[in-house]
Amino acid sequence: MAGAEEGLKQRKVGSTAPANNLQVSRVVVPTAEGIKRDQALDKHVEYEFGGPWGVVAIMTGFPILMYYLWICLVFYDGQLARPSSVEDIQPFLWRMWEHIRVDASPNAYAWKVYTGLIVYQLFLAWIMPGYMQEGLPVPSLGYRTLMYKCNAVGCVYTTMITAALLHYYNIFRMTEIIDNFGHLMTVAMIYGFGVSFFMYFITVATGNQIRMSGNFIYDVFMGACLNPRIGPVDLKMWLEVRIPWVIVFFMSVSGACKQYETYGYVTPNMAFMCLATWLYLNACAKGEECIPQTWDMFHEKWGFLVIFWNFAGVPFSYIYSVVYMASHDPSKYRFSTPTYVALYCTLLTAYYIWDTSMSQKSRFKMQTQGITTYRKTFPQLPWGTIKNPSYIQTAHGNRLLTDGWWRYSRKPNYVADWIMSLTWGLCQGTCSPIPYFYSVFFIVVLIHRCGRDFERCAIKYGKDWEKYCSIVKYKFIPGIY
């Protein structure tokens, strides 16, 4: 990145320096034009998501939808339930409520397990050694770059070993997780709401709020704080990996254990979900040093939008296929061998493109900061780093990558990510439409997010963005859109 550096460097980037030194690495100032455009981006200009009424609808409607889809999966054979007549509307609603009251109550087991996971993950993140990674310059912090302790690999596999031991010695049986899906989901929602409101009030009380609209519920939804930390733990990055994808993986393992105890074997379909969720969890952990280079870290605030989604949305709405397969006979979703081969090959191909495109972009950003040595966590895939990449030097001071996968699409990682989400529904075939919720919802989110990203990039880079769009013509799928 072009610009001057001030003498605030505290450690060598990529070192394993003590965690108490991780707060500020250095100051990297962009051009005067870049500062001007960043100031425009760091102000609340207009409402997103339909404004206050829109976010209220999301905050109330999505939890209701999560309950409804879970009830349909477990109690209505995976089909969308509805009142049989106008007169049945009220009884139907009471039946829905009874399922929630009985089968999704926030019981002691759910509180113990979910809270235990949070405490254990925070404990591991705090004490385990990690790779120190420098983030991008944060305009609201005077272009200081923060240091991030990346120890997710050790934490995740320590968690797996712990879970395996607890299961083996019958202290905590893995099958209990999927059996208590509804109860755990409710506790996760309570944490999502509770932490969102708590972070809003504590941030405002300490005067650390940024980009506020002045509307209470909207600011709770979007967030008030940008870089919340507890000691060496960056909460935003911690929550993005350690809770949602750990739960997603263990839900799949729980489903597999349930099948094995019930039928004496694990179906290729459930094994597929174990592989798919492990790939995603492992990728987030082994590439954790790439996360500080993302928009989520240096610009997106930590509000309900992010907090609820990571506590409850991701782990309890992305794996409906596991919930369905764990509660239905395997004969309903048995495929031919060629179909299984095609399914697994599609997943692995999409994963390769997703993994390497994310790596290419993140390491390109590291290169602009003078970082040329990278972690060698497993697996390191071919073409994950581009040597001497082509790019556009912007008046802002940043560079826009036009090489690798990024020469064909502005969001190649989104395309591959969505294909993976589609396979998570395809693994149960046409038994139920509900497992496809993830891919349908995800494409809506990705399109919306692209709109937000491209709009901000147009403001940030001006004519340079127009030049970039003329070179990388397609937003998603090359040759199509």
Alpha carbons within 13 angstroms on the beta-carbon side of residue 448 total 9
User: What distance separates the 2 farthest-apart alpha carbons in the chain?
Assistant: 73
Helix (H) or strand (E) holding 257: helix 244-263
User: Which pLDDT score, from 0 to 100, does residue 25 have?
Assistant: 61
User: Which pLDDT score, from 0 to 100, does residue 23 have?
Assistant: 56
CA 63 vs CA 56, 106, 192, 298, 449: distances in Å: 12, 14, 10, 28, 21
Instruction: Identify whether the C-beta of residue 371 lies closer than 8 Å to the C-beta of residue 1.
Output: no
Cβ-in-10-Å burial (0-12, 13-18, 19+) of 17 comes to middle
Residues 6+ apart with CB under 8 A from 425: 320, 321, 435, 436, 437, 438, 439
User: Which pLDDT score, from 0 to 100, does residue 378 have?
Assistant: 80
User: Which pLDDT score, from 0 to 100, does residue 11 have?
Assistant: 30
Give the position of tokens 């709109």: 451
Q: Identify which of 329, 313, 317, 282 has the alpha carbon closest to the alpha carbon of residue 428.
A: 329
DSSP 281-350: HHHHHHTGGGGGGSHHHHT---SHHHHHIIIIIHHHHS-HHHHHHHTS-GGGG---HHHHHHHHHHHHHH
- Please say whether the dihedral angle defined by the alpha carbons of residues 336, 341, 344 and 346, taken in this order, is positive or negative: negative
User: Which pLDDT score, from 0 to 100, does residue 8 have?
Assistant: 26
User: Which pLDDT score, from 0 to 100, does residue 65 have?
Assistant: 97
pLDDT averaged per 10 residues in sequence order, the chain, 481 residues: 33 38 63 74 78 97 97 96 95 97 97 98 96 84 88 97 96 95 98 98 94 94 94 94 96 97 97 98 92 83 96 97 96 96 98 95 86 81 92 91 95 96 97 97 90 87 94 88 78
Instruction: Identify whether the C-beta of residue 258 lies closer than 8 Å to the C-beta of residue 180.
Output: no
- pTM of the full structure: 0.90
CA 74/CA 16 separation, integer angstroms? 47
DSSP state of 27: E
Instruction: Identify whether the C-beta of residue 95 lies closer than 8 Å to the C-beta of residue 159.
Output: no
